[in-house]
Structure 1
Amino acid sequence: MVLEQTWRWFGPEDRVTLRDAREAGATGIVTALHEIPMGEVWPIEAIRKRQELIRAAGLEWTVVESLGVTERMKMCAPGWQEDVENFIQSIRHLADCGIQTIAYNWMPLFSWTRTHLHEPAPGGGYTTRFDVVAFAAFDVYMLKRLGAEAEWGEDLSREGLRYFKALSPAQQDELRATILDGLPGGHKKLTLEETTELLRSYEGITPDALRFSLAEFLRIVAPVADECDVRLCIHPDDPPRPLLGLPRIVSTAEDLRWILGQYAGDANSLTFCTGALGVRADNKLREMVSEFAPRIGFLHLRSTQREQRADSAVESFFEAAHLEGDADLISIILEVVREKYRRTSLGDQRSLPYRADHGQELLNDRERGAAPGYPAVGRLRGLAELRGAFMMAERWMMEG
């Protein structure tokens, strides 16, 4: 089994180029046909055209991130069966083109969420951050969601009000845009009014209801993926907590056990994201990697630094440098290398792709204007650090 170094690329308009990815040491590209509306079939011709572009740069498209899941699929709302059939057809087209790893997520309405995109990082440069007070201020005083103040509690709501009142009009616009405009690979750009309407459509959706829809999705789709020798790799919630009154069901070890229990084949696998899962102190990452290793189809390696508050179960956090923060990627890499040797001993020749997920803005990254969370230099540093850590882990395993 090969541990494959990959790089997230957002298509021809990405300011971080395929040449940058190759010079950073990646061999595989993680991307999607972002121009195709969610819920529609990915035409095989469009897939092949994107493959040709990537191959011309000396790289290979090895992971799809993400094949979009519509809101009505997540709710089993009218029309969801049609969206599932289109999802299945896209799987078949990708498999016909030799792409066998597909990441997706089951986060309702919002994908990965931050409140700040260019916060000063402890060691210099800039990073992304999720601040619980800022998000409470947005929820209670900008979105004005019914019931939000009661959910956040009196003390945090009062602190959110002070935060909100201290913002200038431009800062209010920046907070709104950071949350609602959607981060790279996440949800589409929304207005406050559209968000309120979409939240209304989720009324009555409980964690059990969201689990039911995911179970139905896997019941229908996973057997087809198995036929196509494709791994569907679900991404954890980011942050791994309910937001805006919406349930989240891919946040804990218990959640992952339940998901993997819905379909036993490798078609039902994990995108194990150490940054997203690591936000929760009760997620013991090394133990989770050891437990779930046989069903990990894709690795997002990054580290977050928690800023826990006594008055809130929701953690503030920022994206730390890859070998810093709370994730302890060295211990996780050791577990991944053990899994590599286990799979190799069983004759499993499939690659396990990993990428240096996210990155701090370093040197000239801000001037270059890359997508938030996906700078060139910051990710190059992260991938280089991870590559070195993997080499040392492999040497230690061979000599130990």
Structure 2
Amino acid sequence: MVELSLILPPEPDERWQLAKQMGVTSAVVHPLEIGDGQTEWTYDELTGMVNWFEDAGITLDVLEGSVPLTDRIRLGKEGREEDIENFKRFLRDCGAAGIPVVCYDWMAGIRWARTEAHVQSRGGSLVTGYDDAKMRGGPETDYTDVTREQLWDALEHFLTEVVPVAEEAGVKLALHPADPPKDEVRGVPRLATSVENYDRILALYDSEHNGVTFCQGNFALMETPVPEAIRHFGDRINFAHFRDVEGTPERFVEIWHDDGPTDMLAAMAAFEDVGFDGPMRPDHVPTMAGEDNSNPGYHTKGRLFAIGYMTGLLEKIGKS
């Protein structure tokens, strides 16, 4: 059964208590929540964080984004072997500390891209958006000569090196889609943009430890319907983000979980049908009344609403 999770800070505050009051005892640690963008972790830091959560009755199930994956690795540049060895050390430490899932991305240079953070939504709430026209132009970067095959070759090398270590450590890797799922953003190619590309990625190293972060908002912008894509990947989904968007990869806005174009009940039913029992967290929630929008998409009230909505969907499916 789906394990509902929440992004929680690595040290206790009221959000830990709110999560437990909502019945959520599974945590995801993410650098946007940490605030300092930490990506380097020692074994002692990881173990200390796990122990602190466990003492509070919470399991730390995913490290997301806060991983030592460099663009030297993504681009196959000089120095990548040293960085890959560091990533292997990190996976071994995660395994020894008992952290079962690591979520990473393969977006070089420009990563998660948004152009708007104050889009008015229901009742005056605020959501984020993306407009590719606003992303175009600007000064040239060090990434303008990157080729798609360069990224494919670097990803294959990375997976060949690290997936065996992940298997030994008992850690599942979960690749996040390109966000937005466009073939390129400001001239920099992207790979994880379609179901077909994910099939190629999973075939680069065939293992349950080489899996998918099924970010539902990104897959909603791809051509394959969301429930169909969930069933397509099945047990290769190692982590899930439950959200929705409205628009196209070139121009979209985030949307309330219960107010978008995707059939969210059908999506949740598909996760249940394939036997997904990993962590699933609500993602990119609206900023609500009383919140200052200083961290767009990641404030607390919208997440609590989303957990209630997701719980209701799971109850409906269970009764069906």
Which position in structure 1 is the counterpart of 2:88? 88
1:3-14 to 2 correspondence within 5 Å? Answer: 3-12=2-11
SS class of match (2:239): strand
- How far is 1:110 from its partner? 2.1
1:1-400 to 2 correspondence within 5 Å? Answer: 2-12=1-11, 17-32=15-30, 38=39, 40=40, 42-66=41-65, 67-135=67-135, 139-140=136-137, 143-145=138-140, 199-200=141-142, 202-241=143-182, 242-280=184-222, 282-306=223-247, 308=248, 314-340=249-275, 351-366=277-292, 371-396=295-320
8 A contact 2:50–2:98 mirrored in 1: no
Deviations 1:27-75 (A, max 9, x none): 111015765854x4x2111012212332343312111112242010001
8 A contact 1:299–1:353 mirrored in 2: yes
**TM-score scaled by length of structure 1:** 0.74
SS class of match (1:30): strand
Distance (Å, rounded) in 2 between the aligned partners of 1:56 and 1:119: 39
8 A contact 1:337–1:394 mirrored in 2: no
Aligned pair in 2 of structure 1 residues 64, 49: CA closer, same or farther (>3 Å)? same
- How far is 1:132 from its partner? 2.9
SS class of match (1:261): helix
- How far is 1:123 from its partner? 4.3
Distance (Å, rounded) in 1 between the aligned partners of 2:301 and 2:235: 32
Distance (Å, rounded) in 2 between the aligned partners of 1:305 and 1:49: 40
- 1:300 is aligned with what amino acid? H
Structure 1 residue runs without a partner (length 5+): 146-198, 309-313, 344-350
Deviations 1:143-199 (A, max 9, x none): 244xxxxxxxxxxxxxxxxxxxxxxxxxxxxxxxxxxxxxxxxxxxxxxxxxxxxx3
Deviations 1:261-292 (A, max 9, x none): 01111110100001122123x23222111110
Aligned pair in 2 of structure 1 residues 16, 301: CA closer, same or farther (>3 Å)? farther
Give percent identity, aligned residues only.
28
Distance (Å, rounded) in 1 between the aligned partners of 2:47 and 2:201: 32
Distance (Å, rounded) in 1 between the aligned partners of 2:315 and 2:109: 39
SS class of match (1:359): coil
8 A contact 1:286–1:331 mirrored in 2: yes
Distance (Å, rounded) in 2 between the aligned partners of 1:295 and 1:144: 39
8 A contact 2:114–2:130 mirrored in 1: yes
8 A contact 2:219–2:226 mirrored in 1: yes
SS class of match (1:279): coil
8 A contact 2:7–2:30 mirrored in 1: no
380-389 or 271-280, which moves further after superposition? 271-280
- How far is 1:331 from its partner? 1.1
Distance (Å, rounded) in 1 between the aligned partners of 2:233 and 2:91: 24
48-57 or 88-97, which moves further after superposition? 48-57
Matched residue count:
315
Decide which structure has the larger Cα Rg and report it.
1
8 A contact 1:323–1:330 mirrored in 2: no
53-62 or 270-279, which moves further after superposition? 53-62
- 2:127 is aligned with what amino acid? T
- How far is 1:203 from its partner? 3.8
SS class of match (1:363): coil
- 2:180 is aligned with what amino acid? P
Which position in structure 2 is the counterpart of 1:157? none
SS class of match (2:47): helix
Deviations 1:346-372 (A, max 9, x none): xxxxx4110111201123223xx5522
**TM-score scaled by length of structure 2:** 0.92
Distance (Å, rounded) in 1 between the aligned partners of 2:228 and 2:120: 32
Aligned pair in 2 of structure 1 residues 370, 27: CA closer, same or farther (>3 Å)? farther
